[in-house]
């Protein structure tokens, strides 16, 4: 009996040591889990800030484009008004020349009348003409040359109208130039603000990258059963939603029939008839049903405002508000193209309401499934 006591004591010590080791490991795991949750919250917060900044950058870009368009219209108005002003200025010169020609003709006539005529009235008239007193000038001229006087009055009236018009045009040009400078100042201010926000966006992307790196490092310290992977951590690693060939990519594309360029917000896979469609990641079905122009549609919410969208389904197996797992069958491909003689799937990824290139989220090549 005495020999058994040390052994029992040793076993008790071993058990206590083992329990202590488990407790230490659990505490360590809980600490890592807490750090992971903090890192996730940090990433979500930065993502939300980034979205807000991106929205502001978008509206700034739209405002800058609007100002550029407005400035372009103003520049055209300035050019047109300056051209009109130059044209009027030339008409003023021509009008003054006509008046001078008429005056010279009258002087010549008066000299001839004085030379061959009689009386001192001609001498007075000639003196008044030289003095430039228009009222006296007109008074005497009415006696001798009514028709020529009417021409001069007409020319003089036109001259005044042209000078008034030219003054208004010059005022308009100055106003347009001032408005143009004001727009240029606004453009500079907006562009400066835009550059500042773009720089801040770049900094935020670096912070997100750093936080994701930290998250990956922390996950390596946890046993697999405690891991909870987020959708954004699977970027570039998601499974293909269907076995097939990518026939249409995300982005700008040209419609061959109508010769127009469109922005495609998804990718199209061509596959065999009755090919199954799989959820690329775990989540909750936010929508399941038919949509005009899209056929059968399933939208899966993957949390953190990330969604995967599966369109053109001929059959749907998942219902709204049900949970789906990664690699779970959610439907069957439908006909694609105008004649629907081929079969395939339209697949998209959204963050909030903004589309993202699905090819940046899935693996580069199809990987055979393990059902």
**pLDDT tens-digit readout, 138-179:** 565 555 555 666 666 777 777 788 788 878 878 887 887 888
> Do 129 and 205 fall into the same domain?
yes
**Do residues 212 and 43 touch, judged by C-beta distance below 8 A?**
yes
> Do 219 and 245 fall into the same domain?
no
Query: Which of the four pLDDT bands, split at 50, 70 and 90, describes residue 303?
Result: confident
> Do 151 and 219 fall into the same domain?
yes
What is the helix (H) or strand (E) element at residue 356, kind and residue range?
strand 354-356
Query: Which residues, 6 or more positions from 198, have their beta carbon under 8 angstroms from its beta carbon?
Result: 57
Q: Quick one: pLDDT at residue 12?
A: 56
> Do 174 and 58 fall into the same domain?
yes
Three-point CA angle 131, 107, 149, nearest 5° = 85
> Do 204 and 244 fall into the same domain?
no
From residue 228, give the alpha-carbon distance in Å to each of 35, 40, 267.
Answer: 13, 11, 28
CB-hemisphere CA count at 13 Å for 344? 19
Query: Which of the four pLDDT bands, split at 50, 70 and 90, describes residue 315?
Result: very high
Q: CA-CA-CA-CA torsion for 335, 340, 344, 349, nearest 10 degrees?
A: -90
Strands 306-316 and 295-301, by their bridges, are antiparallel
What does the mean pLDDT of the chain come to? 77
**Do residues 308 and 347 touch, judged by C-beta distance below 8 A?**
yes
> Do 285 and 185 fall into the same domain?
no
From residue 71, give the alpha-carbon distance in Å to each of 79, 118, 168, 185.
Answer: 12, 69, 21, 11
**Do residues 92 and 156 touch, judged by C-beta distance below 8 A?**
no
Residue 338's domain spans which residues? 237-360
Q: Quick one: pLDDT at residue 273?
A: 87
Domain stops at, among 228, 248, 274: 228
Percent of the chain at pLDDT above 90? 22
Asked whether residue 366 is domain-assigned, the answer is: no
Strand partners, 306: 351
Query: Which of the four pLDDT bands, split at 50, 70 and 90, describes residue 321?
Result: very high
Q: Quick one: pLDDT at residue 115?
A: 63
Does the predicted model carry a pTM greater than 0.85?
A: no
State mean pLDDT over 60-87.
80
Query: DSSP assignment, residue 308?
Result: E
Q: Quick one: pLDDT at residue 283?
A: 94
Q: Quick one: pLDDT at residue 269?
A: 93
Query: Which of the four pLDDT bands, split at 50, 70 and 90, describes residue 22?
Result: very low
The 3-state DSSP class for residue 369 equals coil
Tally of structural domains, the chain:
2
Asked whether residue 22 is domain-assigned, the answer is: no
Q: Quick one: pLDDT at residue 318?
A: 94
- For the chain, where are the alpha helices, taking DSSP H only? 4-116, 121-131, 134-144, 146-219
Asked whether residue 13 is domain-assigned, the answer is: no
**Do residues 81 and 172 touch, judged by C-beta distance below 8 A?**
yes
For residues 115 and 103, the model is more confident at 103
Q: CA-CA-CA-CA torsion for 190, 195, 201, 203, nearest 10 degrees?
A: -140
CB-CB neighbours of 60 under 10 Å: 18
Q: What is the CATH number of the domain that holds 260?
A: 2.70.70.10
State mean pLDDT over 88-114.
75
What are the tens digits of pLDDT across the range 119-140? 444 555 555 555 555 565 556 5
Q: Quick one: pLDDT at residue 312?
A: 92
> Do 89 and 188 fall into the same domain?
yes
d(CA 85, CA 159): 14
Q: What is the CATH number of the domain that holds 168?
A: 1.10.287
Asked whether residue 8 is domain-assigned, the answer is: no
Query: DSSP assignment, residue 118?
Result: -
Asked whether residue 29 is domain-assigned, the answer is: no
d(CA 203, CA 46): 10
**Do residues 355 and 323 touch, judged by C-beta distance below 8 A?**
no
d(CA 330, CA 295): 14
State mean pLDDT over 41-57.
75
d(CA 30, CA 68): 56
Asked whether residue 137 is domain-assigned, the answer is: yes
Asked whether residue 30 is domain-assigned, the answer is: no
Domain stops at, among 199, 228, 257: 228
> Do 246 and 154 fall into the same domain?
no
**Do residues 349 and 311 touch, judged by C-beta distance below 8 A?**
no
> Do 146 and 39 fall into the same domain?
yes
d(CA 196, CA 199): 5
Asked whether residue 1 is domain-assigned, the answer is: no
> Do 248 and 220 fall into the same domain?
no
Strand partners, 295: 291
What are the tens digits of pLDDT across the range 185-241? 887 887 787 788 777 777 777 877 777 677 677 666 655 545 567 888 888 999 999
State mean pLDDT over 82-99.
80
Q: Quick one: pLDDT at residue 362?
A: 94
Q: Quick one: pLDDT at residue 306?
A: 92
What are the tens digits of pLDDT across the range 243-281? 999 998 998 877 776 677 788 899 999 999 889 999 999
CB-CB neighbours of 345 under 10 Å: 27
> Do 148 and 287 fall into the same domain?
no
Domain stops at, among 176, 193, 228: 228
Query: Which residues, 6 or more positions from 320, have their beta carbon under 8 angstroms from its beta carbon?
Result: 285, 286, 287, 288, 289
> Do 88 and 194 fall into the same domain?
yes
The 3-state DSSP class for residue 239 equals coil
- Can you state the angle between helices 121-131 and 4-116, rounded to 10 degrees? 160
């Amino acid at each position: 009996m005495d020999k058994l006591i040390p052994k029992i004591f040793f076993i008790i010590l071993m058990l206590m040591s083992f329990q202590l080791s488990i407790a230490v490991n659990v505490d360590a795991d809980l600490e890592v889990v807490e750090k992971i949750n903090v890192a996730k919250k940090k990433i979500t917060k930065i993502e939300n800030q980034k979205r807000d900044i991106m929205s502001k950058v978008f509206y700034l870009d739209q405002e800058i484009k609007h100002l550029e368009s407005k400035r372009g219209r103003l520049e055209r108005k300035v050019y047109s008004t300056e051209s009109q002003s130059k044209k009027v200025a030339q008409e003023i010169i021509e009008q003054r020349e006509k008046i001078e020609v008429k005056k010279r003709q009258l002087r010549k006539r008066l000299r001839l009348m004085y030379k061959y005529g009689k009386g001192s009235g001609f001498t007075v008239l000639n003196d008044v003409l030289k003095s430039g007193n228009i009222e006296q000038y007109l008074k005497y001229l009415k006696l001798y040359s009514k028709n020529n006087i009417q021409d001069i009055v007409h020319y003089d009236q036109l001259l005044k109208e042209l000078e008034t018009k030219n003054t208004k045009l010059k005022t308009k040009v100055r106003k347009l130039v001032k408005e143009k400078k004001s727009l240029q100042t606004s453009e500079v201010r907006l562009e400066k603000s835009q550059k500042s926000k773009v720089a801040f966006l770049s900094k935020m992307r670096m912070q997100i990258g750093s936080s994701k790196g930290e998250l990956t490092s922390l996950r390596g310290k946890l046993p697999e059963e405690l891991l909870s992977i987020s959708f954004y951590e699977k970027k570039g690693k998601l499974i293909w939603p269907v076995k097939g060939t990518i026939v249409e990519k995300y982005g700008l594309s040209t419609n061959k029939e109508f010769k127009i360029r469109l922005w495609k917000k998804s990718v199209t896979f061509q596959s065999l008839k009755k090919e199954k469609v799989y959820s690329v990641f775990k989540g909750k079905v936010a929508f399941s049903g038919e949509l005009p122009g899209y056929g059968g549609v399933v939208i899966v919410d993957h949390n953190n405002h990330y969604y995967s969208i599966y369109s053109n389904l001929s059959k749907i197996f998942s219902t709204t508000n049900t949970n789906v797992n990664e690699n779970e069958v959610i439907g069957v491909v439908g006909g694609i193209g105008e004649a629907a003689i081929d079969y395939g799937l339209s697949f998209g990824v959204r963050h909030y309401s903004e589309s993202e290139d699905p090819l940046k989220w899935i693996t580069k090549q199809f990987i055979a499934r393990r059902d």
